[in-house]
């Protein structure tokens, strides 16, 4: 029998006394110390980790969308494309994660659901920030955060900035394609409403991809992002129906009925409508 392999012979560092190690850099004690179960139910661990990992991916999505928006505002579309692709991949990753959660049956979930009290993903401030960044700007959604002034201020600050889509439309206008002035100077604190002039602008892009290659690519990156986001919403509502049926949500909404309504949200309306017009 050969000796057990010792990686230190090829230089693997084995001593971290006083030196930064992997766990130090990633602050794993904090992250892995944050799975406090409120029940004895086995599946609560899955439920906590599923939400925490989703929040971590959302944190990255926010980081990427903010940078993509800034790049678009500076007409630096190539780096923006890379970041928008990453955001779509993050949603793809989150979509795959539902398969893990789906292994939890209704019987298993009911063993700890009471312990959640009124807490619900509905109160996810990062999710709300993503929606606000992308342009779904429902101010009513600020209210669950009134008790946390720093979170409330962060979301309110986001509502004062142009959304990702606002910046995309301004970029289209700077490239010489007519975008209605009323859209360009709209009150960015509200949700953008579909506008025929914007459909025309995108129609000009889609009618001549070679002539407007970058804007064409921008349009498709946005559609891609919304496509993956929609799949997340759909997977969520289907998982929820599978686990709690038509019970009310812990957050107080009608549950599946509320989430089905959210399936109707359209972030970049003219990019979908232009397809009918082509």
**Where does this chain bind ligand HEM (CB under 6 A)?**
50-51, 54, 101, 109, 120-122, 124, 127, 236, 239-240, 243-244, 249-253, 255, 258-259, 262
Query: Is there a binding annotation on residue 145?
Result: no
Choose between 2 and 103: whose C-beta lies nearer to ligand HEM.
Answer: 103
Minimal distance, residue 74 CB to ligand HEM, in Å: 30
Choose between 180 and 251: whose C-beta lies nearer to ligand HEM.
Answer: 251
Query: Is there a binding annotation on residue 109?
Result: yes
Query: Is there a binding annotation on residue 22?
Result: no
Tell me if 258 sits within 8 A of 249, measured CB to CB: yes
Measured between its terminal Cα atoms, the distance across the chain in Å is 71
Tell me if 194 sits within 8 A of 270, measured CB to CB: yes
Choose between 88 and 179: whose C-beta lies nearer to ligand HEM.
Answer: 88
Query: Is there a binding annotation on residue 253?
Result: no
Choose between 23 and 245: whose C-beta lies nearer to ligand HEM.
Answer: 245
Query: Is there a binding annotation on residue 91?
Result: no
Minimal distance, residue 236 CB to ligand HEM, in Å: 6
Minimal distance, residue 191 CB to ligand HEM, in Å: 14
Structure tokens at 111: 């063993």
Choose between 108 and 220: whose C-beta lies nearer to ligand HEM.
Answer: 108
Query: Is there a binding annotation on residue 47?
Result: yes
Query: Is there a binding annotation on residue 49?
Result: yes
Minimal distance, residue 146 CB to ligand HEM, in Å: 16
Choose between 103 and 185: whose C-beta lies nearer to ligand HEM.
Answer: 103
Minimal distance, residue 187 CB to ligand HEM, in Å: 23
Query: What residue numbers does the annotated binding site for substrate cover?
Result: 47-51, 109, 113, 250
Query: What residue numbers does the annotated binding site for heme cover?
Result: 236
Query: What residue numbers does the annotated binding site cover?
Result: 47-51, 109, 113, 236, 250
């Amino acid at each position: 029998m050969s000796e057990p392999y010792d990686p230190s012979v090829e230089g693997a560092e084995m001593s971290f006394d006083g030196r930064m190690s992997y766990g130090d850099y990633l602050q794993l004690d904090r992250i892995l110390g944050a799975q406090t179960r409120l029940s004895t139910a086995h599946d609560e661990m899955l439920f906590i980790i599923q939400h925490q990992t989703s929040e971590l991916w959302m944190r990255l999505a926010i980081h990427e969308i903010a940078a993509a928006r800034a790049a678009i505002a500076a007409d630096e579309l190539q780096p923006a494309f890379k970041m928008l692709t990453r955001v779509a991949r993050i949603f793809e990753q989150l979509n795959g994660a539902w398969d893990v959660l789906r292994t939890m049956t209704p019987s298993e979930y009911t063993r700890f659901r009471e312990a959640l009290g009124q807490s619900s993903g509905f109160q996810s401030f990062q999710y709300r920030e993503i929606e606000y960044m992308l342009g779904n700007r429902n101010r009513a959604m600020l209210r669950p955060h009134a008790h946390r002034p720093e979170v409330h201020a962060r979301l309110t600050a986001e509502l004062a900035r142009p959304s990702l889509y606002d910046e995309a439309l301004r970029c289209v206008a700077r490239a010489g394609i007519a975008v209605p002035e009323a859209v360009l100077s709209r009150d960015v604190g509200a949700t953008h409403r579909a506008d025929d002039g914007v459909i025309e602008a995108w129609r000009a892009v889609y009618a001549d991809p070679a002539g407007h290659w970058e804007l064409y690519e921008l349009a498709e990156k946005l559609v891609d992002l919304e496509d993956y986001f929609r799949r997340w919403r759909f997977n969520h509502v289907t998982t929820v129906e599978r686990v709690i049926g038509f019970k009310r949500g812990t957050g107080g909404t009608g549950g599946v009925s509320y989430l089905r309504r959210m399936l109707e949200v359209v972030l970049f309306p003219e990019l979908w409508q232009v397809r009918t017009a082509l």
